[in-house]
Amino acid sequence: MHPNEKLIHDFYKAFASLDYGTMQNAYADDAIFYDPVFEQLTAGEVRAMWQMLCTNAKGFSLTHRRVIADADYGSCDWTAHYIFSATGRSVVNKIHAHFRFQHGKILEHQDNFSLYKWSRQALGLPGLFLGWSGYMQKKIRKQAKANLHNFTAVKEKTSS
């Protein structure tokens, strides 16, 4: 098994255990992350995102499969089951991840999934009827970024 393939397996095993510290350590100091909700995040922001998601997780489980990696690139499929805290609704999110590696760390990480499918599950009728729209997707992104900003601000306040 290539070391970067092991890195992906270890990353998702840590995620399944809600071990955000191990996940955070998998990223290079200048890493970037992208997904349809948070869009582009810096290394510090993605580390905070994983901590926020892990510490707030309810009814969470995760599986991963089809891990492929070489010295430069990797990918895998992963599925998260959880309760979306804002609505109490159950979500099953199927994601395809792409990675770029440098010096045994994740340099670039992109998660791909349907924001519309996610919004139908997480938001119910509003997601069903409006989740496809730019208006609703912009609102989802704005709320996610505000949650991350608030989480980071509270974390900084409590650590000082």
pLDDT recorded at residue 160: 59
Going along the chain from its start, the domains and CATH numbers come out as: 3-114 (3.10.450.50)
Sort strands 73-84 and 105-112 into parallel, antiparallel or unpaired: unpaired
Per-residue pLDDT of 84-105, as tens digits, reads 988 999 999 999 999 999 999 9
Cα–Cα distance, 47 to 11 (Å, whole number): 12
Q: Are 18 and 54 in contact (CB under 8 A)?
A: yes
pLDDT along the chain (160 residues), means of 10: 96 97 97 97 96 94 97 98 92 97 97 95 82 85 92 76
Q: Are 119 and 98 in contact (CB under 8 A)?
A: no
pLDDT recorded at residue 37: 95
pLDDT recorded at residue 133: 84
Place of tokens 């509003």: 126
Q: Taking the model in full, what pTM does it have?
A: 0.91
Cα–Cα distance, 124 to 147 (Å, whole number): 20
Q: Are 28 and 106 in contact (CB under 8 A)?
A: yes
pLDDT recorded at residue 159: 66
